[in-house]
Amino acid sequence: MLTPYFKGLTEGRLMATRCENTRCPIGRGRGEHWLPPRADCPDCHRPMVWSPIEDPNGTIYTYTLVERGGAGLEIECPYYQIDVKMEGVCTILKSYLADRKPVTIGDKVRARFRTGQEATHTCLDLYFELA
């Protein structure tokens, strides 16, 4: 199910899902994106379709400073775990900030990707930098 998402990350693209059902009680076929991706629309239960996010930039919705990570964490602490609101995406995406500078809610961020030899083939292949 998530293959297009992780394949997109390794290619430097952010892939999301969206509902195209015009009879959907909530989305009505407007095609807003969902991140993380869903197999089926949570409102009408029809299959979602894959679509790229053309401009994977956004704003910090909220954040927390992680000073000590859990076992197996591959990110050097301290770091900011951020929730990002993107235009055309109806959900909030959780990721992390590569910058170690202080941040505030509403700061603009841009998506970055680990590709090629740098790719981990995990959710860590997507991260954000201050714009």
**54-88 pLDDT per residue, tens:** 999 999 999 999 998 888 778 889 999 999 999 98
Collapsing DSSP to helix, strand or coil, 123 comes out as helix
Check residues 61 and 21 and name the one with the higher pLDDT: 61
Domain boundaries, the chain: 3-52, 57-130
Residue 21 confidence (pLDDT) above 90: no
Q: Which tens digits make up the pLDDT trace of 80-130? A: 999 999 998 989 999 999 988 999 999 999 999 999 898 888 899 999 999
pTM of the model: 0.87
CA dihedral defined by 56, 13, 7, 127, rounded to 10 degrees? -50
Q: Measured in Å, how far apart are the chain's first and last C-alpha atoms?
A: 31
Burial class (CB in 10 A: 0-12, 13-18, 19+), 35: buried
pLDDT grade for 29, boundaries at 50, 70 and 90: low
Q: How many residues does the chain have?
A: 131
Q: Round to whole Å and give the CA distance between 97 and 83.
A: 10
